[in-house]
Amino acid sequence: MDPQHLRELAKHVWGQDAEHSMRDFEPSDGLLTLYNNTIVDNAQALVGKRVLDMGCNNGLYSYLAMRHGAAHVVGVEPRGMYVKGLNAFSDAHGLPMEFHRGYDTDLPRLVREHQIDTVMLIAMDNHIDWEGAMVEIRKSKVQWLIMRLTPVPDSWMGYNSELIKFADHGGGMPVGFTLHYSGHNSSTLSGINPVHRDLADPDTGFQHTDPSGNFDNESSTTFINRRSENYTQQFIQQCGYTVESHKTQDSPLVESPSLPSSLEGFYHWYLLRNPKN
């Protein structure tokens, strides 16, 4: 991971305003851990492969997959400012990457059109129908699926002090294998949330309720399902994937001011092989 490359990438994604803040950027220990578990340890699914990064966000993992030997990377993201910036970065340096504005529902078409070997679903379980995506990938000619998920601990499916602490922060309550919670959606993630994406600004993802940009926070809600670890493992098994590797994060990576840090940092990484191909 070359910090100078990431500073250059940031300038394309966020413009000149990013320059000062990125001047002294160095990867944190947390970022290096994510990098190792998401990219380095999954080299067999990346080197020489055509890779689709669904929900590529600022393009970090698309870029890292390319640097680790992917033959070609296609990134898909609903927020246009990222797509424009990443294409500019890729074009400026002649990199084998292309980015498109799109949604998870485009996945079957993209896999066919770009003859994809490997799909990356990184931290998509908050935002898309990831189980539906897994079924589509399983039916396709894709060979590998790299996933990073944030399932909630099985213990949270019952009442205990940890869960009550989470609920006190407005985080919701469990129903069976899933934790449902809702809140006001005033971030760029409105562009991803299927409830609001038709109303979201195509460039930034922010939801505006009328053409003049006036915002009604009360009607901009988000509704998220978080799956339990047990549910996640059973779903993968039922889909028929071969689990090549499964790693869990045993300590939080990210500190959040509003949620218990264990929720933000409790990642699971899966490298799955599609036995059909």
Partner 1 sequence: MHIPTTITVIARVEDTHHKTLPTALLRLSDQSTEHTFTRPGEEHRFTVTAEVRMPGHEIRLEFRDRVAAQAAIQVIGVNVNGSPMGTRIYQCEYTPYDSQERLGSRLYMGLPGTWTLRLHPDDFRSTRFGFA
Indicate which single residue of 89, 156, 166, 206 sits in contact with partner 1 (rule: CB under 8 A). Answer: 206
Site for partner 1 contains 60 (CB under 8 A): yes
For the chain, how long is the longest CA-to-CA vector?
54
Cα distance from N-terminal residue to C-terminal residue, the chain: 31
Site for partner 1 contains 213 (CB under 8 A): yes
Torsional sign, CA 238, 122, 176, 222:
negative
Where are the alpha helices (H) located in 193-270, listed in sequence order? 229-239, 261-265
Query: Do 135 and 111 meet the contact criterion of CB atoms below 8 Å apart?
Result: no
Write the DSSP symbol of residue 117: S
- With contacts defined by CB under 8 A, name the span among 7-15, 45-53, 147-155, 166-174 that binds partner 1: 7-15
Token output for 193: 């949330």
Query: Do 145 and 241 meet the contact criterion of CB atoms below 8 Å apart?
Result: yes
Q: Which of residues 68-127 bind partner 1 (CB under 8 A)?
A: 81
Min separation Cβ 200 and partner 1, Å: 10
Token output for 7: 């500073």
Write the DSSP symbol of residue 158: S
- With contacts defined by CB under 8 A, name the span among 105-113, 128-136, 210-218, 229-237 that binds partner 1: 210-218
Min separation Cβ 181 and partner 1, Å: 17
Site for partner 1 contains 42 (CB under 8 A): no
Indicate which single residue of 25, 106, 129, 195 sits in contact with partner 1 (rule: CB under 8 A). Answer: 25
Min separation Cβ 25 and partner 1, Å: 8
Site for partner 1 contains 242 (CB under 8 A): no
Indicate which single residue of 2, 21, 43, 93 sits in contact with partner 1 (rule: CB under 8 A). Answer: 21
**What is the residue type of 90?**
S
* Cα 117 from chain centre: 18
Rounded Cα distance between 178 and 258, Å, is 21
* Closer residue to partner 1 (CB): 5 or 180: 5
Size of site (CB under 8 A) for partner 1: 37
The binding site for partner 1 (CB under 8 A) comprises: 6, 10, 13-25, 27-28, 30-31, 58, 60, 81, 186-189, 204, 206-208, 213, 215, 217, 220, 254, 257-258
